[in-house]
A and B are shown apart, each in its own frame.
Chain A
Amino acid sequence: QVQLQQWGAGLLKASETLSLTCGVFGGSFSHYAWTWIRQPPGKGLEWVGEINHSGNTNYNPSLKSRVTISVDTSKTQFSLKLSSVTAADTAVYYCARATDRMGVEYWGQGNLVTVSS
């Protein structure tokens, strides 16, 4: 069974860089899009971006100038960095496994990241 377990700092100050990592356990690491999705408190879901096992990325244009997603295939992990955070970046961040054909299937447990001013 596929499991995604994520970790990272939960409290940041404005202008700092958000950093989260997601470990993948079970299943293949190839042939999938390793994805980040976020959800501000009480609001809807927003796709942040993705990376495949070869390192090819797609980002949400609304965040593109600040976001970096990287992958470490040897550790079956992928990471999210979001620079220059503000209070608007306060959200639960989810990692997920997806494919172009099937969309998002498996999710991590979510991490609440709070940005204080």
Chain B
Amino acid sequence: DIQMTQSPSAMSASVGDRVTITCRASQGISNYLAWFQQKPGKVPKRLIYAASSLQSGVPSRFSGSGSGTEFTLTISSLQPEDFATYYCLQHNTYPWTFGQGTKVEIK
């Protein structure tokens, strides 16, 4: 299985901060990577697909980059509604695998 290692596992940040979350794949996955946001009790919401394409309707403060084994999700200016848990997903190789999640909390 391809292991997806997210870092950090949790972080505290303030409104307005620039936030970067990293996902590393144990082997190359090209750009077959998506980022999801999940709030407590809610269904995950896709933010980014194909590593860097912004999902329709998602604010432009979210961006993704990377290819191969290293990927980043950046929130350029954290907003109150962005406090949530973020997951990456590789869909290059079966079984598809998620990162363990990054919880973004209010500082």
Contact = CB atoms under 8 A, between A and B. Distances in A.
Interface of A: 44-47, 49, 58-62, 94, 98, 100-105, 107-110
B91 A61 contact: no
B95 A60 contact: yes
B8 interface: no
CB-based closest 8 A-B pairs:
A103-B91, A47-B96, A103-B34, A60-B95, A45-B98, A107-B43, A58-B94, A44-B101
A103 B87 contact: no
B50 A102 contact: yes
Contacts of B34: 103-104
Contacts of B87: 44-45
B49 A103 contact: yes
A105 B96 contact: no
B5 interface: no
Majority DSSP secondary structure for residues of B touching A: loop
A9 B97 CA distance: 26
19 contacts: A44-B87, A44-B98, A45-B87, A47-B96, A47-B97, A47-B98, A49-B95, A58-B94, A62-B95, A94-B43, A100-B32, A101-B32, A102-B49, A103-B32, A103-B91, A104-B34, A104-B91, A107-B44, A108-B43
Contacts of A104: 34, 36, 46, 89, 91
A46 B98 CA distance: 7
Contact of A61 (B1, B33, B36): B1
A47 to B, nearest CB: 4
